[in-house]
Amino acid sequence: MRSRRKPGTPQPTAAELEILRVLWQRGASTVRQVQEALERRRETGYTTVLKLLQIMGEKGLVRRDERERAHVYRARAPRERTEKQLVGDLLERAFGGEASRLVMRALSAKKASREELERVRRFLNELEGGGRP
């Protein structure tokens, strides 16, 4: 089975995805700001975050603004695009392209709230109506 991922499109590691979540939530941030945000969940060293951000820059996952003394990083792609890429890859690799199996496993893996289920229903209704969610 072939992945739908475009050649050359970087796939973030789990650690890189944590950093991207910080950047999506906070917006442009320095290494120290990213490190402090990650530190709230678990001990994370400054040099580790710096090295990961440098690697992410080489992979094209983040952009670095070097105009200030403290470099500022921002995610290169919006959260939605990265999520879509990751889900598409998972869909192909684990579920053989069967979206219904992926959705059923996702909804059975963790109890969905009433609000989440309502959002899923609205999404399905929009799809059935021919609209784009």
3-state DSSP assignment of residue 49: helix
Residue-by-residue DSSP string for 74-128: EESS-HHHHHHHHHHHHHHHHHTT-HHHHHHHHHHHSPPPHHHHHHHHHHHHHHH
Task: Enumerate residues 6+ apart whose C-beta is below 8 A from 60.
Answer: 10, 76
CATH architecture of the region 14-75: Orthogonal Bundle (1.10)
Domain residue ranges in the chain: 14-75, 79-128
Give the predicted TM-score (pTM) of the model. 0.79
Sheet with 72-75, strands from edge to edge, namely 29-30, 72-75, 62-65
Per-residue pLDDT of the chain (133 residues; tens, 9 = 90+): 444 545 556 889 999 999 999 999 999 999 999 999 999 999 999 999 999 999 999 999 999 998 877 889 999 999 999 999 999 999 999 999 999 999 999 999 999 999 999 999 999 999 888 766 5
| CA-only gyration radius of the chain, Å | 18
Other Cβ atoms closer than 10 A to 117: 12
